[in-house]
Chain A
Amino acid sequence: MSSPIVKLVAQRVALGILLLLAVSVLIFAGTQILPGDVAQAILGQSATPESLANLREQLGLNQPAYVRYFQWLGGVLTGDLGTAMSSGQDIATSIKGRLWNTLFLAFWAAIVAVPLAIILGLIAVRYRNGWVDKLISGLALASTSFPEFFIGYVLVYFFAVKWQIFPGISTVYDGMPFGERMQAIALPAAALTLVVLAHMMRMTRAAILNVMQSAYVETAELKGLSAFNVIRKHAFPNAIAPIINVVMLNLAYLIVGVVVVEVIFVYPGMGQYLVDHVTKRDVPVVQAVGLIFATVYISLNIIADIAAIVANPRLRHPK
């Protein structure tokens, strides 16, 4: 590894950490400016001035906000996310299972969606402007344009109700056999795939087409390479940076944007967990989940950046 890359990567990571800190301040501040404080939210209807004062004392709400922020941050850094107000359970423990479920679903959706999108993109370039290209683009755009819940319900209608191939509700639990688990997530994974497919496919197509205009591609063609080899060996490696970017963005979406799909398929993931606690004004949980989502988003973006840097030949081979 040469020094400019190491330096650039270190810069990105440091920037990411700074950004994450800034986000944590925003999340904390956001939950502070909501009307009413945690004590009021806990006591609700039965709040009296004395019980409010007692509970504030107990929860340390009398301390200035910045002190509480650093206490919270310290807890988060040591893996202590606090306890949920509404159920009194440890947040870290209850999030673990949920996060794992969300990652499991996102992983399998990505395993299907990313290669499929890239291959479809390559095929679309190969037969650009022909009917194959138009068909692929048309279908992918259509599936993305429909709202997720519509796609979800259509899948349920055909695969769960009419043909009864896959279950329409995707309740998964600990100790569920792998095969059953895969069957349970088939429909939500398919819905997610359809939702993210077009973005990645179109980006692949556009990035490669852009490169295809270059002189060296023409040279490669003139050398007599087959169309697919030109794309695979010469165009694709040079178009990889924007493709990685869009793939990472979509991966992030698979993790943090699946609330609707989780609700439709009754999948016990992070989205559903967040929604339940937002309606209960359970601030500690909302803060924790917000921070986790932000971490996922920022990390994936850093990875995209780094991958783009590493994939850039001009940076890999400095003069």
Chain B
Amino acid sequence: MSNELDYLSRRVAFGKLSRRDFLGRAAALGVSASFANSLLSSAARAAGPVKGGTLKAGLVGGESTNSLDPALMMTQVPFAFGKCWGEMIVELSPEGKLENRIAEEIGSSDDAKVWTLKIRDGVEFHNGKTVTAEDVAATLERHSDEKSKSGALGYMKGIETIKASGKEVVLTLKEANADLPYLLSDYHLIVQPNGGKDKPDAGIGAGPYKIVTNEPGVRHGGERFANYWQGDKMGHADQIEVIVINDATARTSALQGGQVNMINRVEPKIVDLIKRLPGVTIRNHAGPGHYVFIMHCDTAPFDNNDLRTALKLAIDREEMLDKILRGYGSLGNDFPINASYPLFSEIEQRKYDPDKAKFHYKKSGHDGTVLLRTSDVAFPGAVDASQLFQQSAAKAGIKIELKREPGDGYWNEVWNKQPFCASYWGGRSTQDQMYSTAYLSSADWNDTRFKRPDFDKMVLAARAELDETKRKQMYHDMAVMVRDEGGLILPMFNQFIDATGAKVGGWVDDPHQELMNGYALAKCWLEA
């Protein structure tokens, strides 16, 4: 019963339940009005940040092979822990704006080729040294070096020279790029003393928490860094802990049992059950991640645009969103951009149309079956989604043959190798990043083999364009091209579905990544 009261009083504090309703519900639970009132006021007091306690997260996406080297971060646990101990040069705010962190100011030359970062005073590393322009420059240098194997290397290659002078870092690009500040918000680019060149996995950063324990694949822990430069905004809990829980059921039960305060990746099929648990709040919000079926535009039979169009028309997006994501997502439109990106513009929604699909299929001249490879690891529910696709396509007279591939090795042997398979993308923070990663002719991860010199030119032109209106139009044209001529079938954008337990305050939805773009542990607090 007290659990329920706690829960109700928090709902009032967050404005989800009226005061009158609360008192009524409390009376129904057999609580006197004065006691209920006092509960309410303590919940309201708790609505501001509360210092202290240990905030724990149980997360999927950690392995015993993880390293503290930011260059090598790939999965969710190093990502989220990195945001606790590391400080970024610049970050994206939940509203999608640029937020200056270690860089106090970012300016560019008119042609967007030379960028100057002014480094903030008074930011301190955990080893007591002050963050200098040299540290920032060295960090960027290390991530631009092939040897670092950095996950940010793809963008960093575009920087020609990096120079530190006084309090400034000057970057000269090989080609103009209006999006540079966004690229610098890449989560790999944690500023380290001397760029981490001495010891990449030393785990010394300038973030709100100092690393205390680091057991890859098991748990990571930190304690509040007393000299954090923005102690009023981040680092409310005394300690934070990330416990690696890769099993979905174990994650949910740990949240239910109160061993952790927040979890990531709640499966859509159990969201409705978890919602009913007292004290648990589901935190779902749209992001740029999407589930896809990808066709190689340069491999028969998919080198025929009529066949590609037929398949795009033969998928029932609404049914898939409903059955696979249980509504926790939004419809896709065969280009990889949605409203979570800056400069997005709407294009007419493509719908399931068996007749039109039949028409294009006939026109393509293809005969026989189309082989689609799928696997459980492609995305949650990928095998079911492929079966739905098979059935909706059958109604248009297109025979899809399914081949279920083993999850182990799917990303090495099937994705980006076989001409037609299921897959997913996590999305990027700008349209340019997304298109450069997967749609440029020269991109390693061009998994639809969409090789069009005219498209490449548009990407480069848009990248250098500083006029937002013109740029928006350019992105619109590119999206139409990918949608109508590309090899991407994008039935749905998924949502991030996290969950928090009782007493977690300060949650703000962030469209960029799960767990408030990784900042949940640093920005949330435990209510008293």
Chain A residues in contact with chain B, CB under 8 A?
44-45, 84, 86-88, 94, 98, 153, 156-157, 160-161, 164, 167-169, 171, 173, 263-266, 268, 272-273, 276-280, 282
Contacts and interface: CB of A to CB of B under 8 A. Distances in A.
Contacts, number: 81
B250 A84 contact: no
B247 interface: yes
Contacts of A88: 67
A161 B257 CA distance: 5
Contacts of A168: 250, 253-254, 256-257, 259
Contact of B216 (A87, A156, A164, A266): A87
A87 B219 CA distance: 16
Interface in B250-306: 250, 253-254, 256-260
Interface in B211-258: 213, 215-219, 243-247, 249-250, 253-254, 256-258
A263 B65 contact: no
Of A168, A171, A264, A273, the most chain B CB neighbours within 10 A belong to: A168
A160 to B, nearest CB: 4
B203 to A, nearest CB: 14
A173 B64 contact: no
Interface in B139-173: none
Given A171-B243, A276-B65, A160 B257 contact: yes
6 contacts: A44-B412, A45-B444, A156-B249, A169-B260, A171-B219, A268-B217
A168 B217 CA distance: 17
Contacts of B218: 171, 173, 268
B345 to A, nearest CB: 33
Contacts of B454: none
Interface of B: 58, 63-67, 213, 215-219, 243-247, 249-250, 253-254, 256-260, 408, 412, 444
Nearest to A164: B257
A167 B217 CA distance: 19
Contacts of A278: 408
A173 B212 CA distance: 13
In the A-B complex, the 5 residue pairs with the smallest Cβ-Cβ separation, listed nearest first, are: A86-B65, A268-B218, A168-B253, A160-B257, A276-B63
A266 B250 contact: yes
A169 B245 contact: yes
Contact of B58 (A84, A156, A169, A276): A169
A173 B219 contact: yes
Contact of A87 (B66, B243, B249, B408): B66
A87 B260 CA distance: 27
B250 A173 contact: no
B215 A164 contact: no
Given A87-B66, A173-B215, A273-B64, A264 B257 contact: no
A73 B59 CA distance: 38
A167 B56 CA distance: 14
B245 A161 contact: no
A44 B408 CA distance: 15
A263 B249 CA distance: 11
Contacts of A263: 246-247
A83 to B, nearest CB: 12
Of B64, B260, B408, the most chain A CB neighbours within 10 A belong to: B64
A282 B412 CA distance: 14
A277 B213 contact: no
A278 B408 CA distance: 9
B213 A173 contact: yes
A263 B244 CA distance: 11
A268 B244 CA distance: 10
Nearest to A98: B64
Contacts of A171: 218-219, 243
Contact of A164 (B219, B243, B258): B258
A264 B252 CA distance: 12
B173 to A, nearest CB: 23
B65 A169 contact: no
A272 B217 contact: yes
A49 to B, nearest CB: 16
Contacts of B244: 266
B111 to A, nearest CB: 32
A173 B66 CA distance: 17
A156 B259 contact: no
A42 to B, nearest CB: 10
A268 B215 CA distance: 10
Contacts of B260: 169
